Structure 1
Amino acid sequence: MMGVTEALFREDAYLSTAEGKVTGINDRGGILLDRTNFYATSGGQPGDTGFFERSDGTKIAVAGTITGETKEEIIHLPLPDAVRPEIGETLVLHVDWARRYKLMRMHTACHLLSVVCPYPITGAAVGEDESRVDFDLPDAGVTKEGVTADMMALVAANHPIFTRWITEDELAANPNLVKSKNVRPPAGAGRIRLVCIGEDASVDSQPCGGTHVSETQEVGEIHIGKIEKKGRENRRFRIRFGALPPV
């Protein structure tokens, strides 16, 4: 392991620009920093792209961001032909904000869907234009029109969204906070990050390391484009931006 990266995005998802010092370059050319605002691929949310700016104005294009041996090691992947910075060099880190903000809105929409459909989650993927959440749901019994209306009611209510930290013991005492059927939050760090919706988390609270908007109204207009049957007890809900198209 080459070191621990301070993940600035965990406390401030709106930090589109920051400074970080280069602490290492791995054998594949990945850049490690002491701190970063670039989100690393995890939990179904893609890692950030953007560029680093050197003191002379030279730009280093970042094509992706991933984790290393642990979640605390964040690796920035430059384009193959990009220059490599020097160890100890301070860079200005510019996230592709338009892309990140769409992912923040989409990730938040996935949380709203899990409120409307309170079933065990078997899979999820966040995308810029479409996201999906899979539920352990034997008989759908729900319609895309009904789910869309319920999600948009949460958007319109403009509930606040915030994060708080709990201990692993607190999570163990409240197992229902985990909505995923097969995936548990990583243990060993001593604390778990919760994403909460509503005053005093009255709407929802669940472990999540991703980036989200600060109030539900920012999600904007969304709809369920399709509900697919993926096995006897699995239903896939596809979330898309915009209004539900007329039949």
Structure 2
Amino acid sequence: MDSTEELFREDANQWTCEANVLAFEEDGGLILDRTVAYPVGGGQAGDAGVIHADGVSWRFGDTRKSKQHPGAILHVIEGAAPLPGTRVIVEIDADRRQCHRRFHTATHLLCALLPYPVNGCSITQSYARLDFHTDEAFDKDALNAGLAHWVAAARPVRHRWISEAELDANPSLVRSMSVQPPRGLGRVRVIDIDGVDLQPCGGTHVNNTADIGAVLVTKIEKKAAKTRRVVLGFAAPDVT
């Protein structure tokens, strides 16, 4: 089976696309030849949305990578699946995607503020967390000030591809202890926040740090002798 073309890797601003149905996994979901929907991975939750075809709609509550067909992406739909060859339109939940993008980019700012290896990550619509491998104490106020500084600095956020050889020559680019960049493709995707952070990452991000908006460290926890957890949330809107 052909792989699913991952449109979200090149353009996280794209909410919809046309695609062809390739197959359906009875215990998994619908496989398309291309999609804008990000599959759960690297700590980031998968996209949700709706698939339309010929006046019929199927809602998918999750997107994930197929274990049966490497390179294929599953859209976990409700109800009977459209037949292979059906032309469909994929439309993701834009609000959910934007939350993921804002939180994911904010975690990169945290990595710039806290120069420790990362040994855990979770990015959802309502919060994000990073676990840092250190026994150092963190200052919540200082972290919030640092986040606010980089958001206000409005630094461009771009992605590019480097060769595996380039990554091997710069092993310090890899910050995560728990999730390693995929190998075997010959190239690795990196996220470059101008003058702030550069590291391999396959997730979706905003175009500029200003697009993160008001985000705050809501909790700092000591999870183990060498693990400090930082939890992020969105600041409540000012209603005054």
TM-score, normalisation: structure 2: 0.95
**Match of 1:187, SS?**
coil
Q: Which residue of 2 aligns with 1:171?
A: 167
Q: Is the 8 A contact 2:222 2:228 kept in 1?
A: yes
Q: Per-residue deviation at 1:40?
A: 0.3
**Match of 1:181, SS?**
coil
Alignment RMSD? 1.4
> Which residue, 127, 142, 148 being the options, matches 2:124?
127
Counterpart-to-counterpart distance in 1, 2:62 and 2:127 = 19
Q: Is the 8 A contact 2:49 2:91 kept in 1?
A: yes
TM-score, normalisation: structure 1: 0.92
Q: Per-residue deviation at 1:29?
A: 5.2
> Which residue, 113, 118, 121 being the options, matches 1:116?
113
Q: Per-residue deviation at 1:183?
A: 2.8
Amino acid at match of 1:13: A
> Which residue, 213, 220, 225 being the options, matches 1:232?
225
Query: Is 1:63–2:61 an aligned residue pair?
Result: yes
Higher mean alpha-carbon deviation, 19-28 vs 189-198, is at 19-28
**Match of 2:11, SS?**
coil
Q: Which residue of 2 aligns with 1:93?
A: 90
Gaps of 5+ in 1: none
Distance 1:71 1:134, change over 3 A: farther
CA-to-aligned-CA distance 1:132-176 (integer Å, 9 cap, x gap): 100011121x21110010011000000000000001111000000
Counterpart-to-counterpart distance in 1, 2:158 and 2:115 = 20
**Identity %, equivalent residues:** 41
Distance 1:84 1:176, change over 3 A: same
Q: Which residue of 2 aligns with 1:35?
A: 34
Amino acid at match of 2:222: K
Gaps of 5+ in 2: none
Higher mean alpha-carbon deviation, 22-31 vs 225-234, is at 22-31
Query: Is 1:145–2:141 an aligned residue pair?
Result: yes
Q: Per-residue deviation at 1:71?
A: 6.3
Q: Per-residue deviation at 1:182?
A: 3.5
